[in-house]
Amino acid sequence: MKKKIILILLFIIMSGVLFITYKKDVLAYPSVFPTGVTINKPEAYQGYTTFAINEEEGKGSTIYIIDMQGDVLHKWKIENVGTMHNYLLKNGHLVSNIRSKEKCPVMGCLSAVEERDWDGNVVWRYENDNLHHPIEVRPDGSIVAIYWEVLPQVLSSQIKGGIPNTEGKNGETITDVIRIVNHDKEVVWEWYPHEELSIADWPLSPPETRQYWPNINRVKYLSEGNPFNGKESLLVSFRKIDTLAIIDIETKKIVWKWGEKDIAHQHDPHLLNNGNILVFDNGYHRTEPDKKKFSRILEINPRINKIIWEYNGSEVNVKNGFGFYSFIGGFVERLPNWNSLITETTTGRIFEVNQEGEIVWEYVHPVAGVDSVFRFSPDEVDWPEKLPSPVGNKWKVKISDYLQYAGWLVALLSLLLLVLNSRALKRKIKPHKS
């Protein structure tokens, strides 16, 4: 009898554990409970993935290169300071935006831009305490950088929108400046939004304070011959006014504008080879009546100003799992096979989706704040060290998988023993025929 009770208890316990892990596998967010690579389908774009993790405040940043199985193939350790967006160049050099340790009136403050070689040695450094958000590296080695400055007070009253009477100290409003700085650290071009724009025509989002206008959080360099207009231009994200725009570098004029009431505090726009624009729409301060918090990836046709493709994280529309949401940060890259590599910054999750919205690759890091995510094929790089194939061992199984398989085996054996024991017990107590 005791044996039967023990078997029943063992079966119940193991079944409960397996039910919990199974439910967690199916319903958890991210999609499964382990960290590392959790989904890896053949349709994924095969290559090396880079990403950065900032440690505790002031304790440094580590930038990794991993293969498709999640194994670390190379890394850089930057001591004592955090980074914001790191670029791995074709020659194996790493360009890092160094976070400022000092207080700053805007988010994403930087103190310097540094270039390191493959072994981590600093080979170039540009310092400026007014830098903020990621820089962009041009083909000639110059950088496109965003700076903050105090807006002339006489212009503050021209800003529309935002929460009334929420200007900064002494009524000050912070604004942005875009500059191109060459490798000799000389400013060769600059653009002031309050000089080039009609301020009243670029209103702040209603829930925002009036301390900062227009909040440029990303600038992408478009080279001559680009599929939008063929001219050297800049694709700019204005976060607090929910707008994307393209600036002609030669004339400094806005040649395209889109987004107000369509996107919400977006990040990381890209011009695609087909002339469309891809962007990570964070969804923060979304204005829909239900006010659901979800992010989405949008592909916009700028010729007709229409969304032609969308992957969104609303529970209603997403096909797989619970979708995604990152109210800050967030990155997206359109891969050569036309899949999209998405970074959910606030959860430490990187995943790749195809055009049908199916997740074909996923990596989960235990630390939130994943940044600087890019995918490189072996043909795209000329790094000093030849790394192993990014495909890795297709048949590698994680310890967590072994434990789960063992759990299923124990539960099945327990059930089998319980059945056999029950049959034996029935034979033993079979009533005597008179």
Type of residue numbered 349: R
Task: Convert the pLDDT of each residue in 325-375 to its tens digit.
Answer: 899 999 999 999 999 999 999 888 999 999 999 999 999 998 888 999 999
Cβ neighbour number for residue 381 with a 10 Å cutoff: 16
User: Nearest to residue 52, comparing CAs of 348, 371, 401?
Assistant: 371
User: Nearest to residue 106, comparing CAs of 131, 135, 83, 81?
Assistant: 131
9 backbone φψ class: left, alpha, beta (φ>0; ψ -120 to 50): alpha
Q: Which two tokens stand for residue 279?
A: 């962007």
- Long-range CB contacts for residues 380-384, cutoff 8 Å, separation at least 24: 380/47, 380/90, 381/48, 381/90, 381/92, 382/90, 382/91, 382/92, 383/91, 383/92, 383/118, 384/91, 384/92, 384/117, 384/118
Say if residues 346 and 386 touch (Cβ distance below 8 Å). Answer: no
Task: Convert the pLDDT of each residue in 239-294 to its tens digit.
Answer: 999 999 999 999 999 999 999 889 999 999 999 999 999 999 999 887 665 556 78
What is residue 168's predicted lDDT score, i.e. its pLDDT?
87
Q: Give the strand order in the sheet containing 267-271.
A: 267-271, 277-281, 296-301, 306-312
What is residue 324's predicted lDDT score, i.e. its pLDDT?
86
User: Nearest to residue 232, comparing CAs of 202, 259, 255?
Assistant: 255
What is residue 367's predicted lDDT score, i.e. its pLDDT?
85
What is residue 59's predicted lDDT score, i.e. its pLDDT?
77
Task: Convert the pLDDT of each residue in 51-93 to its tens digit.
Answer: 999 877 667 999 999 999 999 999 999 999 999 999 999 999 9
Q: How far is CA 293 from CA 207, 238, 258, 285, 393, in A?
A: 15, 20, 22, 8, 38
Q: Give the strand order in the sheet containing 349-353.
A: 36-40, 359-364, 349-353, 340-344, 331-334
Say if residues 370 and 104 touch (Cβ distance below 8 Å). Answer: no
Q: Give the strand order in the sheet containing 83-88.
A: 83-88, 94-99, 110-116, 122-127
